[in-house]
């Protein structure tokens, strides 16, 4: 269990029992049974799904004005730089 903050107030046994009894008396807030939890577990996913095509993380130095222009386009600006570079290599194939 993580360390609690110094001002955290934990309920006593009597208060905890009262809270549990109140929760159990609410038919709309009944806790799941063990069987219901087992049925739900396969649906629980942690984090972002893996992409089919992953990208490689690199460090690249670009001109300030280029970065400023792309950042000004808002969220996804790095993806747009990737698309611009992809378009360039399609239009200007490199000799290997």
SS (H, E, C) 3-71: CCCCCCCCCCHHHHHHHHHHHHCCHHHCCCCHHHHHHHHHHCCCCCCCCCCCCCCCCCCCCHHHHHHHH
Domain boundaries, the chain: 16-43
Q: What is the pLDDT of residues 75-90, one digit of tens each?
A: 999 999 999 999 999 9
Q: What is the pLDDT at residue 74?
A: 95
Q: What is the pLDDT at residue 44?
A: 63
Binned at pLDDT 50, 70 and 90, residue 4 comes out as: confident
Q: What is the pLDDT of residues 28-77, one digit of tens each?
A: 888 888 888 888 777 666 788 788 888 888 999 999 999 999 999 999 99
Is pTM beyond 0.95? Reply is no
The DSSP code for 73 is T
């Amino acid at each position: 269990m993580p360390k609690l903050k110094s001002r955290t107030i934990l309920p006593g046994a009597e208060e905890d029992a009262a809270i549990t009894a109140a929760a159990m008396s609410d038919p709309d807030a009944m806790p799941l049974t063990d069987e219901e939890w087992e049925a739900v577990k396969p649906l629980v996913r942690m984090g972002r799904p893996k992409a089919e095509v992953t990208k490689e993380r690199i460090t690249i130095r670009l001109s300030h004005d280029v970065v400023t222009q792309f950042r000004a386009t808002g969220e996804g600006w790095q993806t747009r730089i990737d698309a611009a570079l992809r378009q360039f290599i399609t239009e200007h194939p490199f000799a290997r």
